[in-house]
Amino acid sequence: MADAFDEECDYLFKAVLIGDSGVGKSNLLSRFAKDEFRFDSKPTIGVEFAYRNIKIADKLIKAQIWDTAGQERFRAITSSYYRGALGALLVYDITRRSSFENARKWMVELREFGGKDMVVILVGNKCDLEQTREVEEEEAKGFAEREGLCFMETSALKNLNVDQVFLQMITRIHDSTSHKSLDVKADQEKQITLSDAKEIHIDAANEVTATKQTSYYYCCST
């Protein structure tokens, strides 16, 4: 059934979720993929993934989002997790400063295993917990700017900015891959092969329209 549907997709994009344990990666994904939230979610063991199909302009995109454990001992082989990923959400918890400070550590891993053109968004999750906030939005914006990342605050619990953050990432991936194919051959179709996934076809003639932005959204010009 999945294969039958794959035939209808114009693109397949793989993206990954990274960040410390307990920051809300799995709940962000379940909110995005199934509109579900769990107060009692267990730490992820190994790797899980979910899909959601998104229409940008007249193109159907299958977003394949991978989720792994923040805890080192539960993580799967890192290189295969990142292989073929075109985007990443680097998630921290706005009420847990250590999870923000560890974003640097996650950046090191991203640089080692991720592709150099990956679209990376820094995500401050649990913004519904304003009263116990330990990381100011301005500070996170500054960090994102220095690292050349986009930035957004979200709440998986209240469903704030969840669709927006995933859609920003997917739109930017679409945008950059379309530009790349234009650079290579303006009038021909280019193929990119994602290991761990299927082939995607990028038609250089297609245009991408922007998706909605929100007040929480910040992005540098890179």
Residues that bind ligand GTP (CB under 6 A): 21-27, 38-39, 41, 43-44, 69-71, 125-126, 128-129, 155-157
Binding window for Mg ion (CB under 5 A); candidates: 25-33, 93-101, 137-145, 189-197: 25-33
Closest CA to 25 of 42, 11, 8, 9: 42
Asked if residue 26 binds Mg ion (CB under 5 A), the reply is yes
Give the x-and-dash track for 37-76 against Mg ion (CB under 5 A).
Answer: -------x--------------------------------
Asked if residue 30 binds Mg ion (CB under 5 A), the reply is no
**Of Mg ion, ligand GTP, none, which one sits near residue 215, judging by CB under 5 to 8 A according to partner kind?**
none
CB of 209 to ligand GTP, least distance (A): 29
CB of 192 to ligand GTP, least distance (A): 29
- Residue ranges binding Mg ion (CB under 5 A): 25-26, 44
